[in-house]
Every structure is written in structure tokens, then in C-alpha cells.
Amino acid sequence: MSDSQPTPSTPDGGNRPNESAAGASPGAAADTGAPAEVTEIAAGYAFQGPALDLGAVLWEGGCHADAQVRIPLAMLNRHGLVAGATGTGKTKTLQLVAEQLAAQGVPVFLADVKGDVSGVSAPGEPGDKVASRAREVGQDWAPRGFTSEFYALGGIGTGIPVRATVTSFGPLLMAKVLQLNQTQEQSLGLIFHYADQKGLELLDLKDLRAVVTFLTSAEGKPELKTIGGLSTATAGVILRALTTFEAQGMGDFFGEPEFDTSEFLRVAGDGQGLVSVLELPSVQDKPALFSTFLMWLLADLYHDLPEVGDLDRPKLVFFFDEAHLLFNGASKAFLDSITQTVRLIRSKGVGVFFVTQTPKDVPADVLAQLGNRVQHALRAFTPEDQKALKATVRTFPTSAYDLEETLTGLGTGEAVVTVLSEKGAPTPVAATRLRAPQSLMGPVPAADLERAVRDSRLYSRYAEAVDRHSAYERLREAAAAAAEAPAAEPPKAAKGKGDGGGGGGSVVEQVVGSGMFKSLLRSVGTQLGREISRSVFGTARRRR
């Protein structure tokens, strides 16, 4: 690359001289006698605008510090994939990208499944390994921590509790965590629609259970008939799945105060983007739940954010760890909703990176939306592994590398990279030795984590669960009122029901036929039902 090529950007967006001893700019491999292939690869990463620095090009066993591999900041909303076998360095790659985004004022969301990402909040520890890696890749390494908030699903574990109401979680996501089939999923959608229309607020699991219990009871059968396509047997299956789910202790994740996902979009007082870390080690045994909850967070952002088109930097970059758990056993409707959300959320300024072991873990329609790729080493010990390796190679552009050999020979902290250039075209495939994160590569002490959580201004807002008057309480009140109705107006309760005119009428007449019950459903429906609108995922937000 000639001397007229631009120098790379610092994390705050300004230009800086190259960090290597040679003093040349990234991509100037030709000036130092590097192979022509390295020069060509480096030229593909010489961007004009602000960019994130990933590392240096690897070629035939050598690391070329003057050939830097980077991602344009403006292309981070075009989504990405970080993949690789266990132990190859995916988590450290997330940390490296997250801290550079935060340094450039972009908020970041990280799912911490293993409990080792909290170190992003503390300065890293210098040492021989870090110094050696920095020299190899031309990095001017200095320890630095980043402003962080820590969250926990339902308050299980150390973090600010993140809860969702059942109504905002929506039927598609609820069907996923309940492990319902496609027919049952559609039926659950009808139940949500019924609750929306009747103004029966579904805030926690007992609210949803109360509505389904009512609809499957003798008293609720007349109401069930008004919901087209919902059979008593299917509703019963949903009720049993819901009861089992609640008995497993899942109720903590649903309720109020509901978390406002706009908290993830904040910028710290010093201009850094806030790093939001969702601590998940305490719910590792509930993989379907936490992966689906992550999708709710993303869908909620999609539902609330305005269209902004292409920006010079994203509003938020969302890292979706253990992504394969989201797609396992998913219905077609669920997968279609994921695809549409990922496709459209780009124009709202949000970038999504899926983190998993191989690209085949992600459906093809979703994979097609992921423009930035960081592929760590893959293993090929079995025929199935070899098949996955070949499939991964086919997802990359044509390159100067033998990718099958390269992908199986990468070391920890090395990856094959291709991203979108500033013009939106794929960059040359580059085997890359990645930089070392500047923050702590490991968890912070438990006491420090707890102190950070309690010192947060959000803790007092979300820590205490609230059990508000909702569907469960309303249905109980309606049933109690209907039970007293025959004594007050027995002829009206029995009229026209064809039970022989017996004294006081049947239980169906008492509950469903009572004027008080109908008045209750009509009044709350008028007040609340029309205020609910649902997105492609069935998620909902009431107008604020």
C-alpha cells in the first residue's frame, strides 16, 4: 500500500501512527518485504473512517504487524457471527470488540453465560503473555476498564433483576420456553388475543395460568367457544405445560417491574458507551429460557426504536451468546420472526452478533444477514466434524488460503476474518492473530460485582418485585361475585339456559351469565384491550 493510504483510527475515532516498530501504516506490508498476498489482504482493510482493530494478518506461520485487520464502525449494524470450537477464544473476541465499541461511545450488550465477562469493568493485568501478543500484532497495550452495568434474569444470581411481563413476552416466545408444538403455539396466540381483548392483564405466570384454567373449566367453556380454532384438549395441554414450567421455579422471570430495554442504550458521563453484562451462570441449567429471554430483549428494542437508516456508528451492538440454543426445536413461525427481526433491526441502528460453535448452528436465512465473520478454530475429529468444516468453508468468499487447513490449524486467540468494507463489499479473507483485550480477562471478585450492582442507580428501581392487580385477581373477584349473584337475582341467572329452570341455575350460568362478570370483562376490555399492539414476535408494549 502506498504512503497515501489512510492511517488507522484510534478507539476514540482519531488517527494515530502505526503501533509497530517499523512505523509504517497498516497495510504497508509491501514496504517491509511482506509477501504480495499479505499486501493485498492489508489493502482490503485500509478504511477511511473510524474502525475497530482486531489484529494482524497471519501468513504461512508468520504474523505481519504492519498488515492490520479491522472492522469499519459504520458496518457494525450489518450484524455478525463469532464462531469456533470450545476454548478457541470466542469470549475474548467479544471482550475485545466490546471494549473498543464502548471506547468509541457505542453501548454494548453482552450475555455472560460462563461468568467470565465481568472483567470488562476492570483494568487488565499486564504480563509476559500480554506483552508478547501486543508485540506480535503491533498493539500499544495499556490496562483499561469500562463503565459497566450487571444484570441477572429475574434476580437469580448477582445483578439488577431483569423481568418481563407475560403479555409483553408474547405468545411465540412463551411457546418456545414451554416447548409447545406448532399447533399449540397457535392456540396460545389465541389465548393471548382473548386476554388482550378482555383487558385481562397477563403480568406474571399465575395470570396466564388463571386465564387458561378459566377457559378449560366448565365455567369458561362458553368463552372458549368464542375463540376460533382452540380446542379444550389443546388448551389443557398448554395448561399442563404452564403448570410444570411454573413448578420448576420459572415464575421469578416474569412480572413487574418490567425492565425497560432502553437502559441498554445509555452512554456514560465520560462519553463511553455503557457495557451491559447479563450474568447467566445461575441459569445455565435453563438454556431455552435464557436464550429466549435474550430474544425478548432484542425484540423489545426492535418494537420500540424508531427507524434511523444507516448511521456513522450503531446505537447498540448486541452479542447473542450460545445462539444455537435459540434455534433448537424452534417452529417455522418462530424462525421467521427471528429472521425478520434481524433483517429489520439494522435500520434502527442495532447490530447483532450471534456467538456459537459453527455457522451451521444458525439457520441459512439468518446467516445470510450476518455480514461480519470472525471464525475461530474448528476441530475435525469425527466425520460429522469434517462435514461441518466443509460447510463452514463454503460460507466464506474465495481466498488465498487453504481454509480447511487454516481453520483446523489456528491457535487460541486466532481467527479467520472477513467483514464488510465501508462500501458494503466483503473484505479479503484474513487469517488473523487477535489483539489482547485491555480489560481484565476473567471475572471480577464476587464482592466487587455485588458492590457494583447495589451502587447502580437502577437497583432501587428494579430490585423489588411488584405483584399488581391483574388477570388472576380479576378472575377470582369475578368468580366470587358470580357465586353471590343467584341470591340477588336468581331468575336472571337461570333464564334461557335450558337446564329445567332449577333453583339458581348452573355454575356456568352463575359465572359466565352473570351481569357482574360480563360488566367486568367489558369495562376492563374497554380500558385496556385496545391499547395493546403486537410486533412480528407477538411481543407487546403498552403506550406510555
pLDDT, tens digit, for every residue of 402-440? 999 999 999 999 999 999 999 999 999 999 999 999 999
pLDDT value at residue 487: 55
3-state secondary structure of 290: helix
- Tell how far CA 539 is from the center of its chain: 14
Phi, psi of 76 (to 5 degrees): -70, -15
The packing angle between helices 515-528 and 182-198, to 10°, is 100
Instruction: Name the pTM for this structure.
Output: 0.83
pLDDT of residue 519: 53
Residues in the chain: 544
pLDDT band at 226 (very low <50, low <70, confident <90, very high): confident
pLDDT per residue as tens digits for the range 180-215: 998 999 999 999 999 988 889 999 999 999 999 998
User: Average of pLDDT values for 271-278?
Assistant: 96
Please give the pLDDT value at position 232: 86
Peptide bond preceding 314 in cis form (omega within 30 of 0): no
pLDDT in tens, 153-169: 998 999 999 999 999 99
Set out the domains of the chain in order of their start, with CATH numbers.
29-152+261-436 (3.40.50.300), 166-254+469-542 (no CATH)
Return the higher-pLDDT residue of 277 and 517.
277
pLDDT of residue 10: 43
Least reliable range by pLDDT among 18-27, 38-47, 449-458, 516-525: 18-27
Mutual angle of helices 205-216 and 471-488, in 10-degree steps: 40
> What per-residue confidence (pLDDT) applies to 536?
62
Residue with the bigger pLDDT between 490 and 54: it is 54
Q: Per-residue pLDDT averaged across 463-469, rounded?
A: 93
CA distance 95 to 452: 19
Residue 285 pLDDT: 83
Residue 514: CB atoms within 10 Å:
24
CA angle 425, 74, 418 (to 5 degrees): 40
Burial class (CB in 10 A: 0-12, 13-18, 19+), 299: buried
pLDDT in tens, 294-312: 889 988 988 889 999 889 9
What average pLDDT does this structure show over 239-264? 92
For residue 467, the 8-state DSSP code is -
Per-residue pLDDT reduced to its tens digit, 339-374: 988 999 999 999 999 999 989 899 999 999 999 999
Number of C-beta neighbours around residue 31 at 10 A: 16
For residue 89, pLDDT over 90 is answered with yes
Q: How confident is the model at residue 539 (pLDDT cuts 50, 70, 90)?
A: confident
d(CA 532, CA 54): 44
Would you state the pLDDT for residue 104? 96
Check: CB of residue 119 under 8 Å from CB of residue 440: yes
Per-residue pLDDT for 489 more than 60?
A: no
Greater pLDDT, 21 or 498: 498
User: Residues of the chain with pLDDT > 70: what percent?
Assistant: 83
Determine the Cα–Cα distance for residues 15 and 22; give it in Å rounded to an integer: 17
> If you average pLDDT over residues 499-525, what whole number do you get?
47
pLDDT at 380: 87
Residues 235-249, mean pLDDT to the nearest whole number: 91
Question: Which pLDDT band holds residue 32 (cuts at 50, 70, 90)?
Answer: low
Q: What is the DSSP string of 137-189?
A: HT---------EEEEEETT-SSSEEE-B-HHHH-HHHHHHHHT--HHHHHHHH
